[in-house]
Structure 1
Amino acid sequence: MGRHSSMPDEYGAATAAPRPRSRGRTAAIATALVVVAAAGTAAVARPELLGLGGGCEDEVHLDVVASPDMAPALREAAEHAHREKLTSDGNCLDVAVTARDAYKVADTLRAGKGAADFQVWVPDSDVWVQRVTTGTGDTEVTPAGNVASSPIGVGMVPTAAKSFGWPRKTYTWTQLAGAAMQGDKLRLGAADPARSASGLLALTKLAATSKKGDGTQAASMAKSLSQRTSDSDAQLMDTVPRDNSGTEQGNPRRNEALILSEQAAYTHNKEAGDAGSVDLFYPKDGSPALDYPFSLVGEDRLSTDESRAAVRFMTLLGAPEGRKILEKHGFRTDSGRSPATVVSRAGGRSPQPYARVAAKAPTEEQLEETLGMWTITVQSARLTTVVDASASMGNIVPSRGESRMEVTKASMLAALSTFTPEDEIGLWEFATFLDGNRDYKKLVPTERLGDQVGSGTRRDRLSAAFTALQPVPGGATGLYDTTLAAYKEATSSYKSGRFNAVVVVTDGVNEDEGSISRESLIKKLDSLADPDHPVPLIVIAVGPDTDKREVEQVAEATGGSGHQVSDPADIQQVILKAIIEAGSKGN
């Protein structure tokens, strides 16, 4: 084809410069990073700022952990620093770089079990830093800025790309994903969004641009992608044909297209050559991008020499020498123009909109919603939802002008829309003496949403049941007996291969004086919980009349989680977040 030896024509503007961040840095580091914040300017390149070419009083050692795609570039930069005697306060830098999957590092740091054995972490995306900072661990991660970027697109083997009109024809994300949903029109693979930033950012973009507001289209796309998902980015790259002869391309186990970063396509094409290259589509509605945050780990435990050495190493990466190394490995830098050779070798060509990246990074809330959708889509969920119907649910939510029940129903219905026909969802309501002497009533059994029930589906029946929920006049909160009964039924009807859970929503503490005690409830839940057949209890306390510690204690007995929200509208987000957390514990 000869395209890899040519430069893309009409090359556009550069991607956005790395975004400097500050999350509680100490004054000393904040001062030192003033130099780094201007990475790519003439000032940074001055030898006296870099500490290049001088003598060494001693060496300062720095352990850096980076995502597998970034590690080779950082090793070359470390070798350059050693060869050129880059110094920090007169001490030569001795930088050791180790490649580790970002999701594994994030999970370790989030758990906070012991001090980290490295001082700097460069994952492929800030999504992993966010995951750490929202965890329970005590290891502080301080992003200092971004050393590179790489937009995410869809790479296709040449025969598939040609059939889709590459490079002249452009597509949106939903159009490309939609093609993969039409039988065998396109075998599209992706890395697991729970383990891959590329997969997660692309799926989040797909969910955000889905035309149907009820979320079902995004869930369908996720379900389709899950059929050809690889555990990691590295494994994903092994799923494309090894050559363009046509033999392997006809193999149904091989992917014809991949959701991948430009850097991954660059590396693949460089190694495979024209015989096994991919062409890269850059969706016209904008590409999310990997942003490679340079982060200090356990900053409060770093010595002054280590902290300043980290700043010096990052400064090198922003200097012309460092940018040259990064671009050589297929990354975009902040040098003012994106390197044309990177786009060309990655398989991009005008008029593909390779200079257009997403104007705005997804929020943490959007990422959590996407992960929640992915978890329940891939695993298929089996949830029993239990909703408080006590009289206090009729109280008005000041910020909404509606009752707690009305806002709760809207949030629960929004959560319901993210589930697929394969998921099993049931509904109970509870209030004291709701059904004779019982505090609860089963409204819809926990069964498959896609099943036909009369002239409609079980989803229709469930939606109608949610819509019909009303506070019971004079009803009090019969929380404990209801929780135990729902949990007993869920554990006795456990189904393997699904995400089994019980979700309880309440706006008050237990008010049934004749019910089981909290201590007895926790003991019984603990005895029912089976690690081999996990059924986490997710308890959401809504409003000022709830006891956060109570719901946490009750839920934790099952390996679940307790949450308190002031606004019932937050219930959907809390459910998805709790599913993510519970799912990660089960993996």
Structure 2
Amino acid sequence: MTRLQPNPATGETPTRAAARAAQRRRRSLILLGLVILLVVALVVVIGVVFARGAADEPEQNPGAVGACLPESLRITADPAVADAVAELAAGLGADCPKAAITTEDSAATAEALATGANPEFDIWVPDSAMWPARATGQAERTGVDAAELAVGGTLASTPVVFATTEPTAAVLEAADAGFSSFAQRSVAVVLPDPATVAASSSALLALQTALNGDARTFTALALALDPAVAPTTTAALDAVSAATTPTVAVTTEQAVQQYDEDSTTKLVPVYPADVKPAVSIPLVTAADASDDTVAAAEALTAAADDADDVLVAHGLRNAAGNPPATATGDAETTIAAPEQADSANQAEVLRTWQVLTAPSRMLSLNDVSGSMLQQATPDMRRVDLFEQAAVRAINSLSTDSSLAVWVFSSRRIGGQDWQEVVPFGSLGDPVHKQLTIDTANGLDSLVGGGTGLYDSVLAAVKYMRDTYVPGQVNLVLLNTDGVNEDDDGLDLPGLLAELEKLRDPAKPVAVIAIGYGPDTDQSALEQIAAATDGAAYQALQPTDIGTVLIDAVTQRGCRPSCG
């Protein structure tokens, strides 16, 4: 009997072959489903990762290799470094827009910031880190609410050198000349104006260091350098080129290279043998600068680290002070750029220089009491010696200084102990200068009476405070040979109390007191000087008078820290 295979479509039980085929189909469908699920999960995970990465990544990262600086970024650079900055910015990417760079002398930018002006830059590239330190220091001293600055990485540096002709350079190098050699004055020195040229403030700090901080010697050298100050670096180098005697200009390695490229007269750099200063070129931003600005500054710093060839092409060294590969002789020496603290010291020595070299406004307050007629030597009285010394002191002052002469004894005009005999006038005026000299030579004709010291000192200080002239060294030069003899006026504690009331750091009026002979109340003079941040001298011997008076006049600017 033959059995027929039932038809599965009829719902009857399938055969074994059909069952196995159905089972295979089910397994294939399950496997396909799993594969699809895995693919979908993978796509989702990758999408999340990319989404998170896109969210974390800024729209533009100037710090990344090949990235461009923000088009809105404002860069202000000193003319000496502007071209180098532009080339570094251009090297960040071939398709980057050209960076907009405003050139402005660093001194002008610093001065504006010190007065409280808002920064007109996102990144400032001065030719020295001294300038932001100076801007901050000036603002603090004057109480100005100025923008807080952040000094970032160092872009480049350049050593401070002596620029001179080849014959002079050979002599200086053979003698191992350095900043301490200035004291020997064997060569003329031209200094570009420290108020506008950073290399000069760096050189002044090096000079101070070479002299071991000797304030007196530094002051004397600073005053000797002042007449030869040139307004610009180029003017200083021109003066060296035209000099007929051995002369050097204090400048930078970069400035010498640029001068030689532009001039028919070639100068060579001499590297100081003792102190080896340099100027560092930093990137400065506002303390609250945006992240993009900070990143842009970091990008420029990184670009400079990898572009020694660009720096060398502009006469600069890298941040470490390494010499170019082509350097020979002393130029092969690595000269490290100063630390930020050194930049602050440069700013401070610049302020010292400006005080030292500022025009003097001096009121000479001279004792003409009867004791000045006493014999100091067999053939000269005290007043005679003072007259000679006074004339020398007048001749030591610069022509942009001004001088007035008062005398005092007791009750010269009614109950007043003091008297004006020469009003203030410029020593650049030959008529006024001759009048002061003639008056000094004729002080003996005014001698008489007791010593009305304390009231006269207070009157002189009050007058100088009331007529104070900013930008000048306002001081009273007190010359006396005795003690206060005015019982109707102030006593010493009363005078010191009044001087304390008049004290104003913004308008300082120092009393430089000189006591002549053994009868002087030197203790009182020292207290008067201390109360005004001045100084007190004593000339015990007749021959000391001239030396002491000249020293008092020339040390006027470093008081009270001349040493």
- Residues 1:66 and 2:77 aligned together: yes
Partner of 1:338: 322
Q: Quote the Cα distance in structure 2 between the aligned partners of 1:428 and 1:234.
A: 45
**C-alpha displacement of 1:295:** 0.7
Per-residue CA deviation, residues 502-539 of structure 1 (Å, 9 max, x unaligned), is: 4479xxxxxxxxxxxxxxxxxxxxxxxxxxxxxxxxxx
8 Å contact 2:75–2:125 — kept in the other structure?
yes
- Paired residues for 1:478-517 under 5 Å: 483-484=462-463, 502-503=474-475
Shift of 1:441: 7.1
In the other structure, the counterpart of 1:190 is 191
- Paired position in structure 1 for 2:252: 261
SS at match of 2:110: helix
Residue 356 of structure 2 is aligned to residue 373 of structure 1: yes
Match of 1:320 in 2: 306
SS at structure 2 position matched to 1:309: helix
> 1:338 aligns to what SS in structure 2?
coil
Is the radius of gyration larger for structure 1 or structure 2?
2
What is the 5 A alignment of 1:414-563? 420-422=396-398, 437-438=415-416, 483-484=462-463, 502-503=474-475, 546=501
CA contact (8 A) 1:239 1:255 kept: no
Give the Cα–Cα distance (whole angstroms) in 2 for the partners of residues 171 and 327 of structure 1: 26
SS at match of 2:299: helix
Q: Classify 1:349/1:364 alpha carbon distance in 2 versus 1 (closer, same or farther; 3 Å).
A: closer
Which residue in the other structure is 1:287 paired with? 276
**Offset at 1:64?**
1.3
Task: Tell me what 1:309 maps to.
Answer: 296
Q: How far apart, in 2, do the equivalents of 1:82 and 1:386 lie?
A: 70
Change (3 A) 1:282 1:442: farther
Q: 1:145 aligns with which of 145, 149, 153?
A: 153
Q: Is the 8 A contact 1:196 1:233 kept in 2?
A: yes
1:115 has 2:100 as partner:
no
Change (3 A) 1:554 1:338: closer
Matched with 1:53 is: 66
Task: Report how far residue 193 of structure 1 moved.
Answer: 1.2
Aligned CA distance change for structure 1 residues 271 and 101 (closer, same or farther; 3 Å): same
1:83 is paired with a residue of what secondary structure? coil
Query: Equivalent of 2:91, from 80, 86, 89?
Result: 80
For residues 74 and 165 of structure 1, the distance between their equivalents in structure 2, rounded to whole angstroms, comes to: 35
Q: CA distance change for structure 1 residues 236 and 84 in 2, over 3 Å: closer, same or farther? A: farther
| Offset, 1:153 | 1.3
CA distance in 2, matches of 1:434, 1:477: 15
Aligned with residue 127 of structure 1, among 122, 125, 130: 130
CA distance in 2, matches of 1:308, 1:212: 41
Shift of 1:80: 0.9
Q: Deviations over 1:141-173 (max 9, x none)?
A: 2212322222211011113223x154x441121
Three-state SS of the structure 2 residue aligned to 1:263 is: helix
In 2: Cα distance, 1:233 partner to 1:384 partner: 36
Unaligned runs of 5+ in 1: 1-47, 86-92, 242-250, 388-416, 453-457, 462-468, 492-497, 506-540, 556-566, 579-587
User: Match for 2:351: what amino acid?
Assistant: E
Contact kept, 8 Å, 1:61 with 1:95, in 2: the verdict is no
SS in 2 for 1:148: strand
Mapped contact 1:109–1:139 kept (Cα < 8 A): yes
Q: Shift in Å at residue 570 of structure 1?
A: 5.7
The CA deviation at 1:191 is 0.9
Matched-pair contact (CA < 8 Å) for 2:362–2:476: no
Cα deviation, 1:425-457, whole Å, max 9, x if unaligned, reads 668799x99996448677999898xx99xxxxx
| SS of equivalent to 2:91 | helix
What amino acid is aligned across from residue 122 of structure 1 in structure 2? V
The structural deviation recorded for 1:82 is 4.0
**Aligned residue in 2 for 1:175:** 181
Offset of 1:487 from its aligned partner?
5.3
1:111 is displaced (CA, Å) by: 1.9
Structure 2 Cα separation of the partners of residues 363 and 64 of structure 1: 25
- Tell whether the 8 Å contact from 2:405 to 2:421 is kept in structure 1 after alignment: yes
- Conservation of the 8 A alpha-carbon contact between 2:179 and 2:274: yes
**Is 1:233 the counterpart of 2:241 in the alignment?**
no
Q: Tell me, yes or no, if the aligned pair for 2:150 and 2:284 is still in contact at 8 Å.
A: yes
1:277-303 CA deviation, whole Å, 9 max, x = no partner?
Answer: 322211111122211121114x44x44
Structure 2 vs 1, CA of residues 341 and 443 (structure 1 numbering), >3 Å: closer, same or farther?
farther
Question: Structure 1 residue 382 and structure 2 residue 365: aligned?
Answer: no
1:516 corresponding residue in structure 2? none
Q: What is the CA-CA distance between 1:356 and the residue it aligns to? A: 7.7
Taking the aligned partners of 1:357 and 1:59, their CA distance within structure 2 comes to 29
Deviation at 1:99, TM superposition (A): 2.3
Question: Residues 441 and 176 of structure 1: is their aligned pair in 2 closer, same or farther, counting only changes over 3 Å?
Answer: same
Letter in 2 for 1:76: E
2:162 equivalent to 1:159: no
- 1:485 shift after superposition: 7.7
What does residue 26 of structure 1 align with?
Answer: none
Check 1:548–1:308 CA distance in 2 against 1; reply closer, same or farther (3 A cut): farther
> Which deviations, in whole Å up to 9, do the C-alpha atoms of 1:309-357 show, x marking residues without a partner?
333333333x313x4422332222245x71244744xx8457xx66488
Change (3 A) 1:71 1:444: same
The answer to whether the 8 Å contact 2:151/2:282 transfers is yes
Letter in 1 for 2:323: P
Percent identity of equivalent pairs: 19
- Cα-Cα RMSD: 5.4
Tell me the matched-pair count: 393
| Change in 2 beyond 3 A, CA 1:548/1:50 | same
Cα 1:276–1:482 change in 2 (3 A) is closer
Q: Which has the higher contact order (CA 8 A, sep 6+)?
A: 1
Q: TM-score, normalization: structure 1?
A: 0.53
Residues of 1 paired with 2:62 and 2:112: CA distance? 35
Gaps of 5+ in 2: 1-60, 367-392, 428-432, 435-439, 444-450, 478-495, 510-529, 536-555
Instruction: Find 2:285's aligned residue among 296, 308, 311.
Output: 296
User: Which one has the bigger helix percentage?
Assistant: 2
AA in 1 matched with 2:133: Q
- Corresponding residue for 1:101? 105
Is the CA contact 1:146–1:291 (under 8 Å) kept in the aligned structure 2? yes
